[in-house]
């Protein structure tokens, strides 16, 4: 069977985010317009200019692994395990000797175990290298999210990590998609996980002037496309999807949520952190996704925007949408769920793909909250403040990362 004949579908999903510890809880809170942004509690922010973030709340690692194993894993690994457990339960997927070599995992992270790196460096420079844990390396390196999931479930297919800044989650899904299309696997566990709420990362983003300074109103800090936006909100969490080759899924009578039609990629080749001010990266990326998926602009019913709430990202993404969709642009609803979750960096594309699947499943558009003072240069339909019923068969979701890396996924309501 050639790659065009091997269709890829989504059969399971799992999430850990600042607005919930499950897909059900996330979707409920998205439709209620609930923000997950609050004052940071993970460390003392007294000397930090930015004191807010999107923390995962009420997460108990021992609900998923033993107390002994918690000490061997950084939070990005634990979040990935938790989301994967939910995704496996959702997909009702059983791994045995008949399929183990045809099931793989690709889970990405932008910065991996940065907390372990930070703490181990402090011990090393304090003259106490003997106090560094022997589990430091396997708890910090990015591919260990995939590695731990593969060990947990006995997955002997392709397994590795992806790191492409804020595009990581979508790149991981894309790689899993292509593994199935190339007949290297029948099932792929894919997504992204991130936990970077530590002093060094918070200060690093703040000193880039990338973060919102709205410390006195955390819930209103992430405000994509709003005229008063002043930066993104740093968040953590994980999103995992189960991808299956269509015939494999049908043979086991799996519940199919949506079909993955394809992806588009591009690179700005402009600046290490700033987007191309002419929006050429998003334009090329979305155009490539439409071309790969065989879609006309008018086929798209909704876009989940990268929508970070930074001055330039929201502007250039808006320009990119206009360039690709032309006259249809003003009929095309777009929203940013980052207005509620904040920016999960390497996990963002994965959780936002899940929100797109839920949009298709429920025929409801998620809102962009905190859209109060429209930016005249961002003049599209951003589904302001309230969810909206709509006919949704095809969604795009965008992720753009530092270094100018861009990726767009195209998803469609499943039809045999």
- Catalytic amino acids? 166, 306, 343
Residue 134: CB atoms within 10 A of its CB come to 8
Residues recorded for the chain: 416
Reduced 3-state DSSP string for 243-307: EEEHHHHHHCCCCCCEEEEEEEEEECCCCCCCCCCCCHHHHHHHHHHHHHHCCCHHHCCEEECCC
Distance CA 121, CA 128 (A): 10
- Torsion angle (degrees, nearest 10) of CA 273, 278, 281, 285: 140
Distance CA 9, CA 357 (A): 11
The answer to whether 392 and 359 have CB atoms below 8 angstroms apart is: yes
DSSP structural state of residue 226: B
As a whole number of Å, the end-to-end CA separation of the chain is 17
Q: Return the ∠ at Cα 234 (arms to 209 and 89), rounded to 5°.
A: 160
Distance CA 33, CA 370 (A): 9
Structure tokens at 237: 């969490």
Q: Is the dihedral of CA 94, 100, 106, 112 positive or negative?
A: positive
Closest alpha carbon to 242 in 153, 151, 167? 153
Distance CA 1, CA 229 (A): 49
DSSP three-state, residue 31: helix
CB contact set of 92 (below 8 Å; sequence gap of 6+) = 12, 254, 255
Distance CA 376, CA 373 (A): 9
DSSP three-state, residue 367: coil
Closest alpha carbon to 342 in 229, 199, 209, 242? 229
């Amino acid at each position: 069977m050639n790659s065009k004949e091997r269709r890829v579908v989504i059969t399971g999903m799992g999430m850990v985010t600042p607005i919930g510890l499950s897909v059900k809880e996330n979707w409920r809170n998205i439709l209620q317009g609930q923000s997950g942004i609050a004052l940071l509690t993970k460390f003392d922010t007294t000397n930090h200019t930015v004191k807010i973030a999107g923390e995962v709340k009420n997460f108990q690692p021992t609900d998923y692994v033993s107390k002994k194993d918690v000490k061997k894993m950084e939070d990005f690994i634990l979040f990935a395990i938790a989301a994967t457990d939910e995704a496996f339960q959702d997909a009702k997927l059983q791994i045995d000797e008949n399929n183990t070599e045809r099931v793989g995992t690709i889970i990405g992270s932008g910065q991996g175990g940065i907390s372990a790196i930070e703490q181990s460096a402090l011990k090393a420079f304090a003259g106490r290298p003997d106090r560094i844990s022997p589990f430091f390396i396997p708890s910090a390196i990015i591919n260990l999210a995939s590695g731990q999931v593969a060990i947990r479930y006995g997955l002997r297919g392709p397994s590795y990590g992806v790191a492409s800044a804020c595009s990581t989650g979508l790149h991981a899904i894309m790689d899993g998609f292509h593994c199935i299309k190339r007949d290297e696997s029948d099932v792929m566990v894919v997504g992204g996980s991130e936990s970077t709420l530590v002093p060094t990362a918070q200060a690093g983003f703040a000193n880039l002037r990338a973060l919102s300074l709205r410390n006195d109103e955390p819930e209103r800090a992430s405000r994509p496309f709003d005229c008063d936006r002043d930066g993104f909100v740093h968040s953590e969490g994980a999103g995992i999807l189960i991808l299956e080759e269509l015939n494999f899924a049908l043979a086991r009578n799996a519940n199919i949520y949506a079909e993955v039609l394809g992806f588009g990629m591009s690179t700005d080749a402009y600046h290490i952190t700033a987007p191309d001010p002419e929006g050429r990266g998003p334009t090329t990326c979305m155009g490539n996704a439409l071309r790969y998926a065989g879609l006309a602009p008018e086929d798209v019913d909704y876009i989940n925007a990268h929508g970070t709430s930074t001055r330039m990202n929201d502007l250039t993404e808006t320009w990119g949408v206009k360039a690709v969709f032309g006259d249809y642009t003003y009929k095309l609803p777009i929203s940013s769920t980052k207005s509620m979750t904040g920016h999960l960096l390497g996990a963002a594309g994965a959780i936002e793909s899940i929100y797109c699947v839920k949009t298709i499943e429920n025929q409801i558009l998620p809102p962009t909250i905190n859209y109060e003072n429209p930016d005249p240069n961002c003049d599209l339909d951003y589904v302001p403040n309230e969810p909206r019923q709509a006919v949704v068969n095809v969604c795009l979701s965008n992720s753009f990362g530092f270094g100018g890396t861009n990726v767009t996924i195209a998803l469609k309501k499943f039809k045999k």
